[in-house]
Structure 1
Amino acid sequence: MRSDRAGLEDKEAIAYIRQMLGELHQVARQEGADMLCYLIEMAYVEAGDVHAGRRPRSVAHGERDKTPGMTM
C-alpha cells in the first residue's frame, strides 16, 4: 500500500508536469505550432484532471496497448 507521503509526492510531480506543459504551450504558440499547441493542451487538461482526482493516473495496464518507448 502506498503511503500518504508517496501520494503527496505523486501530486507534486503531476503539478510540476502540468506547469511544464503550460510553459511548453506558450513556446509552441509563439512558434505557430498549432498541432503541438493542441496536443500540449490535451496533456495539460489530462494532468489537471489527474491532479484533481477526477481521473486515474493510469488505465488498467492489461486492457490497453503499450506506448512505444520514447528516446530524447
Structure 2
Amino acid sequence: MNLKPAKPAQPPHAVEENIASVRQMLGELRAVAHNEGADMLRYFIEMAYVEAGDILSGFRPLSIRENRDRAPGVPLNPAGKVKL
C-alpha cells in the first residue's frame, strides 16, 4: 500500500535549486548551532550539509530508496501509541 500521494516530477534544475536552498539553510543553521555551543547538533547539521553538497555535485544520488531491496509484504506503518 502506497501511503504517499504521487507528486509530479520536477525538472532537474528545480530539484537542484531546492537542494541548493536546503544546503544554504543548513549552513546558516550550522553557524547558529556553533554559536550556541550545540556541538552534537552542529555535527548532524554538518553531515546534512555535506550530503546536500554531494547530491549537488553528483557524488551521491538524490535518494537511495530506488536502490534498496524491500521486504515484500511488510508494511511500514508510522509509530503509534504504545499500549502497555
TM-score w.r.t. length of structure 1: 0.77
| 1:17 Cα deviation from its structure 2 partner | 0.3
Matched residue pairs, number? 64
Q: Are 1:63 and 2:55 an aligned pair? A: no
Greater radius of gyration (CA): 2
Query: 5+ residue gaps in structure 2?
Result: 1-8, 71-75, 80-84
Paired amino acid for 2:69: E
Aligned equivalent of 2:54: 49
Which SS does the other structure have where 1:44 is aligned?
A: helix
Runs of 4+ aligned structure 1 residues displaced above 3 Å come to: 61-64
Q: Provide the C-alpha distance between the structure 1 equivalents of 2:32 and 2:69, rounded to a whole number of angstroms.
A: 35
TM-score w.r.t. length of structure 2: 0.67
Residue deviations 1:39-58, cap 9 Å, x none? 00000000000011110000
Q: Higher helix fraction: Structure 1 or Structure 2? A: 1
Query: 5+ residue gaps in structure 1?
Result: none
